[in-house]
Amino acid sequence: MIVISRLRLDHAPALLAFEQENRAYFAASVPDRGDDYFAHFDVRHHGLLAEQRAGLHHFHLVEDGGGTVLGRVNLIDVAEGSAELGYRIAERAAGQGLATSAVRRVCALAAADYGLTRLRAATTVDNAASHAVLTRTGFEPTGEAVFDGRPGRLYTLGLSAPLH
């Protein structure tokens, strides 16, 4: 069973382990977080939780039934009914539909629980898996960009209020 939960203080050890175990895998498709991220993880974690409490971001962990972190799906820069979606799935869980499922579930939370009406996302052009997830979850390409010198694509998704 997959569980998606909002980031909490007690998630810190499992989240750090997830980021360390998958660092090289993530760096192959997105810019590396850098050594400073890991050296000051606890301070950063507390800061992210404060920003989440302030409503600036909504951070989510994707866990298996035993509490092992398999991914994260975040909504950042929340403003005027909009946010940017970003996600990371562990290498050992990639290619199994987890990213698509988790993104769908967080998009539903974005509309139902956070009152958002539009999401943005971006990925490098060479990240075929990310393009597939965004397309399968309803995001539409809206433009191009450059990320750390690599060509990228921008996406948006309009959200509807949930039916009650």
In the chain, where the domains are located: 3-158
> In sequence order, what DSSP letters do the residues of 39-99 get, joined into one string?
HTHHHHHHHHHHHHHTTS-EEEEEE-TTS-EEEEEEEEEEETTEEEEEEEE-GGGTTTTHH
- Tokens (6 digits) for 73: 């799906």
What token pair was written down for 96?
A: 């199994």
Q: Check residue 164 and give its pLDDT.
A: 46
Output the tens digit of pLDDT for each of the chain's 164 residues: 899 999 999 999 999 999 999 999 988 877 778 889 899 999 999 999 999 999 999 999 999 988 899 999 999 999 999 999 999 999 999 999 999 999 999 999 999 999 999 999 999 898 899 999 999 999 999 999 998 888 999 999 999 865 44
Each residue of 147-164: pLDDT tens digit? 888 899 999 999 986 544
pTM: 0.92
| CATH top class, domain 3-158 | alpha beta
| pLDDT of 95 | 92
Q: How many CB atoms lie within 10 A of CB 58?
A: 22
* Separation between Cα atoms, residue 120 and residue 140, nearest integer Å: 9
pLDDT of residue 162: 58
